[in-house]
């Protein structure tokens, strides 16, 4: 059994301004995505330029923040915002939905692809390995905030929280959706792959990891289990990702269309 360290959610203060760890984790995620994308763009044969990467990350950041917050309100926190409208803007307290952020990113980078004349699937593939470090950092931010705890456990790695030993489901997600997913995708995209293969692997990988961790995670109090005594909103939203990801991998393997991210 481990004892939760009770970390102060506020990293530091400058006068009346308080900077939270959760917000810093998003900054870290964006910086990591930018740095990784710059590295990948600098590889021989890449059709991406450094300025393309800068603009892509800017568009993606807007998509993550707006989509993630709106997604949380729609899927999880509608009652909270209805009762306290100002809660809409308190992003430093948590309340970001990955699935909403994913939709926001897809819309944002679709617009980027249109403006730059790039094939939209190529942009999806280029960005596939980039979010994983941010996902890891975000889950660590959830751990620092003391939110999204798992179910009670008698295992040796449970954390004592409010008198109960619980699964640290935030850290499970940080490891699987962040570290493992990044290592797999970064290796997979280290050489040219068929169009949509990287995107399919990301969707299938994230969806599977999220679906599995939900079995030890406590569902949101205002939603509970949706069906069968175990189905959560996270699992419901992850299922289409798994199906779509597998379909994309199958299509990529069959069509074998060359990626536009590499010069012919």
The whole-angstrom separation of Cα 84 and Cα 133 is 32
187 in a structural domain: yes
Q: What integer pLDDT is reported at residue 121 of this predicted model? A: 96
- 199-210 pLDDT, tens per residue? 999 999 999 999
* Domain-embedded: residue 120: yes
> Is 258 a domain residue?
no
Does residue 128 fall inside a structural domain? Answer: yes
Q: Is residue 1 in some structural domain? A: no
Confidence at residue 3, expressed as pLDDT on a 0 to 100 scale:
85
| 201 assigned to some structural domain | no
C-alpha–C-alpha distance, residues 85 and 78, integer Å: 10
pLDDT tens-digit series, residues 253-264: 999 999 999 987
Q: How many Å separate Cα 42 from the centre of its chain?
A: 25
pTM of the model: 0.85
Give residue for tokens 């999806």.
124
Q: What is the pLDDT of residue 226?
A: 82
CA separation (Å) from 162 to 131, 146, 152?
Answer: 32, 11, 11
Instruction: Report the pLDDT value the prediction gives residue 88, as an integer from 0 to 100.
Output: 56
Contacts of 240 by beta carbon, 8 Å cutoff, 6+ apart: 207
Beta-carbon neighbour count of residue 132 at 10 Å? 26
Domain that holds residue 106: 6-192
Element (H, E) at 33: helix 21-41
Position 15 in a domain: yes
* pLDDT, position 82: 61
- As for how many domains the chain has, the answer is 1
Pairwise CA distance, residues 216 & 2, whole Å:
17
Residues of the chain short of pLDDT 50, as ranges, are none
Burial of 133 (0-12, 13-18, 19+ CB in 10 A): buried
What pLDDT, on a 0 to 100 scale, did the predictor assign at position 79?
63
């Amino acid at each position: 059994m481990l004892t939760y360290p009770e970390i102060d959610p506020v990293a530091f203060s400058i006068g009346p301004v308080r900077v939270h760890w959760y917000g810093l984790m998003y900054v870290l995620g964006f910086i990591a995505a930018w740095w990784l994308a710059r590295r990948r763009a600098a590889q021989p044969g890449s059709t991406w330029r450094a300025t393309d990467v800068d603009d892509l990350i800017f568009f993606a950041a807007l998509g993550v923040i707006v989509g993630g917050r709106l997604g949380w309100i729609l899927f999880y926190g509608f009652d909270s915002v209805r009762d306290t409208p100002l809660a809409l803007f308190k992003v430093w307290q948590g309340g970001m939905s990955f699935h909403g952020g994913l939709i926001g990113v897809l819309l944002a980078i679709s617009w980027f692809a249109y403006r730059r004349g790039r094939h939209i699937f190529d942009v999806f593939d280029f960005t596939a390995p980039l979010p994983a470090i941010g996902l890891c950092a975000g889950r660590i931010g959830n751990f620092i905030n003391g939110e999204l705890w798992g179910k009670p456990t008698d295992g040796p790695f449970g954390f004592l929280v409010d008198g109960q030993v619980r699964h640290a489901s935030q850290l499970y997600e940080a490891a699987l959706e962040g570290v493992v997913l990044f290592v797999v995708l970064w290796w997979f995209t280290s050489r040219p792959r068929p169009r949509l293969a990287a995107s399919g692997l990301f969707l299938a990988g994230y969806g599977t990891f999220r679906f599995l961790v939900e079995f030890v995670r406590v569902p949101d109090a205002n939603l509970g289990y949706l069906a069968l005594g175990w189905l959560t909103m996270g699992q419901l939203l992850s299922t289409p990702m798994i199906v779509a990801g597998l379909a994309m991998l199958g299509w990529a393997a069959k069509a074998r269309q060359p990626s536009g991210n590499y010069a012919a």
